[in-house]
Amino acid sequence: MERTREFLQSIGLPGGDLHELPTSDKRFPDGAQYRVEIPSTEGPRALEAVLDEAERLDVRVHRVSQGSGVFMLSDAELDEMAKLAAAATVEVSLFARPNAGWDISAQTRSTAGAALAPAIRGGDQLVYALEDIRRAAAHGFRSVLIADLGLLASFDAMRKAGELPAEMQAKVSVMLPAANPSSARVLADLGADTLNLPTDLSLDQIAAIRAAVDVPIDFYVEAPDNLGGFVRLYEVPEIVRIAAPVYVKFGLRNAPDVYPSGSHLEATVVALSRERVRRARLGLELLEREFPEAVTSELGAAGLALPDVLTRAR
Protein backbone atom coordinates (compact mmCIF):
# COMPACT_ATOMS: atom_id res chain seq x y z
CA MET A 1 0.00 0.00 0.00
CA GLU A 2 2.91 2.37 0.51
CA ARG A 3 3.42 2.77 -3.22
CA THR A 4 -0.25 3.75 -3.66
CA ARG A 5 -0.06 6.20 -0.75
CA GLU A 6 3.02 7.79 -2.31
CA PHE A 7 1.30 8.09 -5.66
CA LEU A 8 -1.69 9.88 -4.12
CA GLN A 9 0.69 12.27 -2.39
CA SER A 10 2.49 12.89 -5.70
CA ILE A 11 -0.76 14.21 -7.21
CA GLY A 12 -1.46 16.44 -4.23
CA LEU A 13 -3.86 14.19 -2.31
CA PRO A 14 -3.27 12.84 1.20
CA GLY A 15 -2.04 9.26 1.31
CA GLY A 16 -4.97 8.17 3.47
CA ASP A 17 -6.99 9.58 6.35
CA LEU A 18 -5.16 12.10 8.53
CA HIS A 19 -5.20 10.38 11.90
CA GLU A 20 -3.02 13.08 13.45
CA LEU A 21 -5.86 15.61 12.91
CA PRO A 22 -3.76 18.57 11.77
CA THR A 23 -5.04 22.07 12.42
CA SER A 24 -6.27 23.69 9.21
CA ASP A 25 -4.63 27.00 8.38
CA LYS A 26 -7.15 27.68 5.61
CA ARG A 27 -9.69 30.46 6.18
CA PHE A 28 -12.68 32.30 4.77
CA PRO A 29 -11.77 35.49 2.86
CA ASP A 30 -12.23 37.56 6.04
CA GLY A 31 -9.90 35.31 8.05
CA ALA A 32 -12.67 33.46 9.89
CA GLN A 33 -12.58 29.73 10.65
CA TYR A 34 -16.30 29.02 10.83
CA ARG A 35 -19.75 30.26 9.94
CA VAL A 36 -23.22 29.03 10.93
CA GLU A 37 -25.82 27.58 8.56
CA ILE A 38 -29.46 26.77 9.30
CA PRO A 39 -30.89 24.30 6.75
CA SER A 40 -34.48 23.59 5.67
CA THR A 41 -35.53 27.24 5.76
CA GLU A 42 -38.43 26.67 3.40
CA GLY A 43 -39.93 30.09 2.78
CA PRO A 44 -40.42 33.64 4.05
CA ARG A 45 -42.12 32.64 7.31
CA ALA A 46 -39.37 30.12 8.11
CA LEU A 47 -36.72 32.73 7.32
CA GLU A 48 -38.48 35.24 9.57
CA ALA A 49 -38.49 32.66 12.35
CA VAL A 50 -34.77 31.96 11.92
CA LEU A 51 -33.88 35.65 11.97
CA ASP A 52 -36.12 36.35 14.98
CA GLU A 53 -34.78 33.43 16.99
CA ALA A 54 -31.20 34.25 16.01
CA GLU A 55 -31.61 37.74 17.42
CA ARG A 56 -33.32 36.47 20.59
CA LEU A 57 -30.65 33.82 21.27
CA ASP A 58 -27.69 35.85 20.02
CA VAL A 59 -26.79 33.40 17.25
CA ARG A 60 -24.95 34.82 14.26
CA VAL A 61 -26.52 32.97 11.30
CA HIS A 62 -24.50 33.50 8.13
CA ARG A 63 -26.40 31.28 5.73
CA VAL A 64 -29.76 29.55 5.45
CA SER A 65 -30.57 26.87 2.90
CA GLN A 66 -33.81 25.56 1.44
CA GLY A 67 -34.61 22.07 0.19
CA SER A 68 -37.98 22.10 -1.57
CA GLY A 69 -36.74 23.79 -4.73
CA VAL A 70 -36.94 27.20 -6.35
CA PHE A 71 -40.01 26.16 -8.34
CA MET A 72 -41.91 25.51 -5.10
CA LEU A 73 -41.82 29.23 -4.22
CA SER A 74 -43.93 31.91 -5.90
CA ASP A 75 -42.43 35.07 -7.34
CA ALA A 76 -43.76 37.04 -4.37
CA GLU A 77 -42.26 34.55 -1.90
CA LEU A 78 -38.88 34.67 -3.63
CA ASP A 79 -38.88 38.46 -3.57
CA GLU A 80 -39.84 38.54 0.10
CA MET A 81 -37.11 36.06 1.04
CA ALA A 82 -34.52 38.03 -0.92
CA LYS A 83 -35.49 41.28 0.80
CA LEU A 84 -35.49 39.71 4.28
CA ALA A 85 -32.10 38.11 3.73
CA ALA A 86 -30.53 41.19 2.15
CA ALA A 87 -31.69 43.36 5.07
CA ALA A 88 -30.20 40.86 7.53
CA THR A 89 -27.04 40.35 5.39
CA VAL A 90 -27.63 36.58 5.36
CA GLU A 91 -26.96 34.25 2.43
CA VAL A 92 -29.87 32.17 1.14
CA SER A 93 -29.12 29.02 -0.87
CA LEU A 94 -32.10 27.61 -2.80
CA PHE A 95 -32.26 24.03 -4.07
CA ALA A 96 -32.26 23.46 -7.83
CA ARG A 97 -35.02 20.91 -8.37
CA PRO A 98 -36.67 18.62 -9.41
CA ASN A 99 -34.61 15.42 -9.12
CA ALA A 100 -35.22 11.79 -10.02
CA GLY A 101 -36.84 11.11 -6.66
CA TRP A 102 -39.53 13.67 -7.46
CA ASP A 103 -40.16 12.21 -10.91
CA ILE A 104 -41.83 9.01 -12.13
CA SER A 105 -38.63 6.99 -11.65
CA ALA A 106 -39.35 3.48 -10.42
CA GLN A 107 -35.70 2.81 -9.65
CA THR A 108 -35.56 5.53 -6.98
CA ARG A 109 -38.37 3.74 -5.17
CA SER A 110 -36.48 0.45 -5.08
CA THR A 111 -34.13 -0.61 -2.30
CA ALA A 112 -31.10 -0.74 -4.57
CA GLY A 113 -31.93 2.40 -6.53
CA ALA A 114 -32.62 4.86 -3.71
CA ALA A 115 -29.21 6.48 -4.22
CA LEU A 116 -30.43 7.69 -7.62
CA ALA A 117 -33.05 9.98 -6.04
CA PRO A 118 -30.91 13.18 -5.99
CA ALA A 119 -29.79 12.72 -9.61
CA ILE A 120 -31.13 14.76 -12.51
CA ARG A 121 -33.10 12.29 -14.62
CA GLY A 122 -32.96 12.93 -18.36
CA GLY A 123 -32.27 15.94 -20.54
CA ASP A 124 -35.57 17.70 -19.86
CA GLN A 125 -35.03 17.52 -16.12
CA LEU A 126 -31.59 19.07 -16.62
CA VAL A 127 -33.35 21.96 -18.36
CA TYR A 128 -35.85 22.24 -15.48
CA ALA A 129 -33.09 22.39 -12.85
CA LEU A 130 -31.15 25.00 -14.84
CA GLU A 131 -34.36 27.01 -15.16
CA ASP A 132 -34.68 26.86 -11.37
CA ILE A 133 -31.19 28.35 -11.15
CA ARG A 134 -31.96 31.05 -13.73
CA ARG A 135 -35.12 31.99 -11.82
CA ALA A 136 -33.25 32.19 -8.53
CA ALA A 137 -30.70 34.52 -10.13
CA ALA A 138 -33.46 36.64 -11.66
CA HIS A 139 -34.90 37.20 -8.19
CA GLY A 140 -31.52 38.28 -6.85
CA PHE A 141 -30.32 35.08 -5.19
CA ARG A 142 -26.66 34.30 -5.59
CA SER A 143 -26.43 30.78 -4.13
CA VAL A 144 -28.02 27.52 -5.26
CA LEU A 145 -27.91 23.97 -3.93
CA ILE A 146 -26.89 21.33 -6.46
CA ALA A 147 -27.12 17.55 -6.05
CA ASP A 148 -26.08 16.26 -9.48
CA LEU A 149 -22.65 16.09 -11.14
CA GLY A 150 -23.86 17.06 -14.62
CA LEU A 151 -25.95 19.91 -13.24
CA LEU A 152 -22.90 21.25 -11.43
CA ALA A 153 -20.84 21.15 -14.64
CA SER A 154 -23.62 22.82 -16.65
CA PHE A 155 -24.08 25.48 -13.96
CA ASP A 156 -20.38 26.32 -14.08
CA ALA A 157 -20.45 26.49 -17.88
CA MET A 158 -23.39 28.90 -17.77
CA ARG A 159 -21.65 31.03 -15.13
CA LYS A 160 -18.47 31.22 -17.22
CA ALA A 161 -20.50 32.07 -20.34
CA GLY A 162 -22.21 34.99 -18.62
CA GLU A 163 -25.61 33.29 -18.62
CA LEU A 164 -25.56 33.55 -14.82
CA PRO A 165 -24.03 36.23 -12.59
CA ALA A 166 -20.31 35.72 -12.13
CA GLU A 167 -20.75 35.90 -8.35
CA MET A 168 -23.35 33.09 -8.34
CA GLN A 169 -22.24 30.24 -6.06
CA ALA A 170 -22.83 26.50 -6.22
CA LYS A 171 -23.34 24.86 -2.85
CA VAL A 172 -23.01 21.12 -3.35
CA SER A 173 -25.70 19.23 -1.46
CA VAL A 174 -25.06 16.48 1.07
CA MET A 175 -26.94 14.31 -1.45
CA LEU A 176 -23.96 14.59 -3.85
CA PRO A 177 -21.44 13.23 -1.40
CA ALA A 178 -17.80 14.25 -1.33
CA ALA A 179 -16.88 11.19 0.71
CA ASN A 180 -13.14 11.13 -0.04
CA PRO A 181 -10.38 13.60 -0.99
CA SER A 182 -10.37 12.74 -4.69
CA SER A 183 -14.15 13.16 -5.05
CA ALA A 184 -13.96 16.46 -3.19
CA ARG A 185 -11.32 17.73 -5.61
CA VAL A 186 -13.36 16.66 -8.64
CA LEU A 187 -16.38 18.59 -7.37
CA ALA A 188 -14.28 21.67 -6.65
CA ASP A 189 -12.71 21.47 -10.11
CA LEU A 190 -16.21 21.29 -11.64
CA GLY A 191 -17.13 24.60 -10.04
CA ALA A 192 -18.36 23.84 -6.53
CA ASP A 193 -17.98 26.82 -4.19
CA THR A 194 -18.77 24.84 -1.01
CA LEU A 195 -18.93 21.09 -0.31
CA ASN A 196 -21.42 19.44 2.03
CA LEU A 197 -19.72 16.27 3.32
CA PRO A 198 -21.56 13.07 4.33
CA THR A 199 -22.76 13.33 7.91
CA ASP A 200 -21.03 10.15 9.13
CA LEU A 201 -17.42 10.96 8.25
CA SER A 202 -14.90 10.63 11.07
CA LEU A 203 -12.66 13.51 12.05
CA ASP A 204 -9.61 11.99 10.34
CA GLN A 205 -11.63 11.53 7.13
CA ILE A 206 -12.79 15.16 7.28
CA ALA A 207 -9.20 16.28 7.82
CA ALA A 208 -8.06 14.38 4.72
CA ILE A 209 -10.72 16.08 2.58
CA ARG A 210 -9.75 19.46 3.97
CA ALA A 211 -6.13 18.80 2.95
CA ALA A 212 -7.26 18.13 -0.63
CA VAL A 213 -9.41 21.22 -1.27
CA ASP A 214 -9.47 24.90 -0.35
CA VAL A 215 -13.20 25.60 -0.78
CA PRO A 216 -15.33 25.84 2.38
CA ILE A 217 -16.77 22.66 3.82
CA ASP A 218 -20.38 22.42 5.04
CA PHE A 219 -20.93 19.87 7.79
CA TYR A 220 -24.03 18.75 9.69
CA VAL A 221 -23.14 18.62 13.38
CA GLU A 222 -26.72 17.51 13.96
CA ALA A 223 -28.18 15.55 11.08
CA PRO A 224 -31.82 14.86 10.20
CA ASP A 225 -32.93 11.28 10.74
CA ASN A 226 -32.93 10.52 7.01
CA LEU A 227 -29.24 11.53 6.93
CA GLY A 228 -28.22 9.46 9.94
CA GLY A 229 -29.71 11.35 12.89
CA PHE A 230 -26.28 12.04 14.43
CA VAL A 231 -25.89 14.63 17.20
CA ARG A 232 -22.20 15.57 17.18
CA LEU A 233 -22.18 18.80 19.15
CA TYR A 234 -19.21 17.77 21.29
CA GLU A 235 -17.13 17.46 18.11
CA VAL A 236 -17.84 21.04 17.00
CA PRO A 237 -14.55 22.45 18.40
CA GLU A 238 -12.46 19.83 16.62
CA ILE A 239 -14.47 20.16 13.41
CA VAL A 240 -13.82 23.91 13.40
CA ARG A 241 -10.12 23.36 14.12
CA ILE A 242 -9.45 20.74 11.45
CA ALA A 243 -11.99 21.65 8.75
CA ALA A 244 -11.71 25.46 8.58
CA PRO A 245 -13.12 27.20 6.65
CA VAL A 246 -16.30 25.37 7.62
CA TYR A 247 -20.02 26.09 7.71
CA VAL A 248 -21.24 24.47 10.92
CA LYS A 249 -24.66 23.20 9.94
CA PHE A 250 -27.40 22.60 12.50
CA GLY A 251 -30.03 20.15 11.31
CA LEU A 252 -32.55 18.52 13.60
CA ARG A 253 -33.05 14.95 14.75
CA ASN A 254 -36.58 13.67 15.51
CA ALA A 255 -38.06 15.99 12.92
CA PRO A 256 -40.40 15.11 10.03
CA ASP A 257 -39.27 15.30 6.41
CA VAL A 258 -41.11 18.38 5.10
CA TYR A 259 -39.98 18.31 1.46
CA PRO A 260 -41.68 19.64 -0.56
CA SER A 261 -42.92 22.20 1.92
CA GLY A 262 -46.01 24.37 1.64
CA SER A 263 -48.69 26.21 3.61
CA HIS A 264 -50.08 22.88 4.88
CA LEU A 265 -46.82 22.38 6.80
CA GLU A 266 -46.01 26.00 7.62
CA ALA A 267 -46.58 25.81 11.39
CA THR A 268 -44.33 22.74 11.62
CA VAL A 269 -41.64 24.26 9.40
CA VAL A 270 -41.57 27.46 11.47
CA ALA A 271 -41.31 25.51 14.74
CA LEU A 272 -38.49 23.37 13.33
CA SER A 273 -36.66 26.48 12.13
CA ARG A 274 -36.75 28.00 15.60
CA GLU A 275 -35.47 24.81 17.19
CA ARG A 276 -32.57 24.59 14.75
CA VAL A 277 -31.44 28.02 15.90
CA ARG A 278 -31.71 26.87 19.52
CA ARG A 279 -29.54 23.87 18.63
CA ALA A 280 -27.05 26.32 17.14
CA ARG A 281 -26.99 28.23 20.43
CA LEU A 282 -26.15 24.99 22.25
CA GLY A 283 -23.36 24.17 19.80
CA LEU A 284 -21.89 27.66 19.93
CA GLU A 285 -21.88 27.72 23.71
CA LEU A 286 -19.93 24.46 23.70
CA LEU A 287 -17.53 25.89 21.11
CA GLU A 288 -17.03 29.02 23.21
CA ARG A 289 -16.18 26.90 26.26
CA GLU A 290 -13.79 24.49 24.53
CA PHE A 291 -12.29 26.59 21.73
CA PRO A 292 -12.82 30.24 22.74
CA GLU A 293 -10.21 31.53 20.29
CA ALA A 294 -12.10 30.19 17.25
CA VAL A 295 -12.88 33.03 14.86
CA THR A 296 -16.24 33.51 13.17
CA SER A 297 -17.38 35.96 10.50
CA GLU A 298 -19.40 39.12 10.82
CA LEU A 299 -22.75 39.12 9.07
CA GLY A 300 -22.39 40.10 5.43
CA ALA A 301 -18.72 39.11 5.37
CA ALA A 302 -16.70 38.66 2.19
CA GLY A 303 -17.45 35.43 0.38
CA LEU A 304 -21.10 35.22 1.42
CA ALA A 305 -23.44 35.04 -1.58
CA LEU A 306 -25.87 37.70 -0.39
CA PRO A 307 -29.06 38.38 -2.39
CA ASP A 308 -29.01 41.34 -4.73
CA VAL A 309 -32.45 42.87 -4.27
CA LEU A 310 -31.84 45.33 -7.12
CA THR A 311 -31.73 42.50 -9.66
CA ARG A 312 -35.49 41.92 -9.65
CA ALA A 313 -36.16 45.67 -9.83
CA ARG A 314 -34.05 45.95 -12.98
Cβ–Cβ < 8 Å for 192, 152: yes
The per-residue pLDDT for range 4-19, each reduced to its tens digit, is 999 999 999 999 999 9
Domain ranges of the chain: 32-313
Q: What is the mean pLDDT of the chain?
A: 96
pLDDT recorded at residue 111? 85
Which CATH number describes the domain made up of 32-313? 3.20.20.380
In this predicted structure, what is the pLDDT of residue 112?
A: 83
- If you average pLDDT over residues 156-180, what whole number do you get? 96
- Position 313 scores a pLDDT of 56
Q: Distance between CA atoms of 232 and 174, rounded to whole angstroms?
A: 16
pLDDT digits (tens, 9 = 90+) for 182-207: 999 999 999 999 999 999 999 999 99
Rounded to an integer, what distance in angstroms lies between the CA atom of residue 85 and that of residue 1? 50
Condensed to tens digits (0 to 9), the pLDDT of residues 138-167 reads 999 999 999 999 999 999 999 999 999 999
Measured CA to CA, the distance from residue 162 to residue 142 in angstroms comes to 14
Per-residue pLDDT at 314 = 56
Query: Residue 193, by phi and psi: left (phi above 0), alpha (psi -120 to 50) or beta?
Result: alpha
Cβ atoms 287, 240 nearer than 8 A: yes
**What's the confidence (pLDDT) of residue 32?**
98
Helix, strand, coil shares, percent, the chain, to 5: 45, 10, 45
Model confidence at 310: pLDDT above 90: no
